[in-house]
């Protein structure tokens, strides 16, 4: 129990086995420039061609997740690409149902991953970390339930590059992202980085994709049931998450205890 209570014992170590300079066929800046000239679907195809079996997607089955998943569905050979879904054990009922709906419609290769520490065990050891109004406790929650399970899944699948649906207008941190960044010993692809809310809306409409059930209840961003809220006059998007203390969850940030899914 002492070891599990030690923050350093919970740190996420970078994947040290990969030599980033040897993974890409071209220099990183050249790859970024090339990706900036492509459409989102073409960026996925480029990454699949570059990394092959070492390429994966991540999804939260959130409000806007259907876009990337549909692009994967239409990609030639896309059925071979695993989709990593980090199930925290605290997702709303609507999210679990939405995941089932999209999976049935798109035929995805979903790899659902959870922390080895169950929600009940975590609460017994550390309490309800989201109720303390402490940024440190929220970071610990994210590390246990999201970051470490993701890193384990990426290791198990030998992933060198993973794609996510993050967009630059979602948080201050994401405005600093590029289409291809290095993070914890891997590459992270952001095909939708420059997309707007309107781009998301019209893509879903044009491709007859179902909306997340909580979208109609005013949610523009949804994560865990205890730390998500509909938009209001004061808060919108990721500002509604974790009482506004944290906009990111650690997945998209370099380092041990960072910020993002």
Give the CATH number, domain containing residue 220: 3.40.50.620
Q: Is residue 205 part of a domain?
A: yes
> Does residue 257 surpass a pLDDT of 70?
no
pTM of the model: 0.83
Q: How far apart are CA 221 and CA 132, in angstroms?
A: 22
78 to 12, 47, 55, 137, 210: CA distances (angstroms): 29, 11, 10, 38, 20
249 is catalytic: yes
Q: Is residue 25 part of a domain?
A: no
> Does residue 220 surpass a pLDDT of 50?
yes
**Higher model confidence: residue 161 or residue 251?**
161
Predicted confidence (pLDDT) per residue in 100-142, tens digit: 999 999 999 999 999 999 999 999 999 999 999 898 999 899 9
For residue 260, name the pLDDT band (cuts at 50, 70, 90): very low
State which residues form the domain around 189: 52-244
Q: Is residue 249 part of a domain?
A: no
Q: Is residue 163 part of a domain?
A: yes
Q: Is residue 234 part of a domain?
A: yes
**Higher model confidence: residue 108 or residue 171?**
108
> Does residue 5 surpass a pLDDT of 80?
no
Q: Is residue 224 part of a domain?
A: yes
Residue 4 burial (CB count, 10 A): 13
**Higher model confidence: residue 200 or residue 231?**
200
Q: Is residue 17 part of a domain?
A: no
Going by C-beta distance under 8 Å and a sequence separation of 6 or more, which residues neighbour residue 104? none
Distance of CA 66 to the CA centre of its chain: 13
Domain count, the chain: 1
Pairing of strands 180-183, 110-113: unpaired
Residue 138 burial (CB count, 10 A): 21
Q: How far apart are CA 11 and CA 59, in angstroms?
A: 23
Segment 141-168 shows an average pLDDT of: 93
Catalytic residue chosen out of the listed positions 102, 180, 249, 251: 249
Q: Is residue 172 part of a domain?
A: yes
């Amino acid at each position: 129990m002492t070891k599990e209570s030690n923050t350093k014992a919970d740190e996420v170590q970078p994947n040290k086995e990969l030599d980033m300079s040897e993974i890409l066929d071209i220099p990183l800046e050249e790859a970024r420039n090339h990706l900036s000239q492509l459409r989102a679907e073409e960026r996925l195809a480029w990454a699949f061609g570059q990394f092959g079996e070492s390429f994966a997607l991540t999804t939260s089955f959130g409000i806007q997740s259907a876009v990337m998943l549909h692009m994967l569905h239409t990609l030639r050979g896309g059925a071979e690409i695993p989709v990593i879904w980090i199930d925290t054990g605290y997702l709303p009922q609507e999210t679990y149902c939405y995941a089932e709906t999209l999976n049935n419609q798109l035929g995805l290769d979903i790899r659902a991953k959870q922390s080895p520490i169950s929600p009940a065990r975590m609460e017994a050891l550390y309490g309800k970390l989201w109720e303390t109004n402490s940024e440190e406790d929220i970071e610990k929650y994210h590390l246990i339930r999201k970051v470490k399970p993701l890193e384990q899944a990426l290791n198990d699948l030998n992933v060198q590059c993973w794609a996510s649906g993050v967009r630059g207008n979602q948080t201050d941190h994401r405005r600093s992202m590029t289409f291809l960044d290095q993070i914890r010993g891997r590459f992270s692809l952001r095909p939708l980085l420059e997309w707007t809310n309107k781009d998301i809306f019209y893509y879903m409409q044009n491709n007859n994709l179902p909306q997340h059930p909580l979208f109609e209840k005013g949610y523009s961003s949804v994560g865990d049931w205890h730390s998500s809220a509909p938009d209001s006059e004061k808060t919108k998007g990721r500002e509604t998450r974790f009482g506004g203390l944290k906009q990111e969850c650690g997945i998209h940030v370099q380092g041990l205890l960072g910020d993002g899914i």
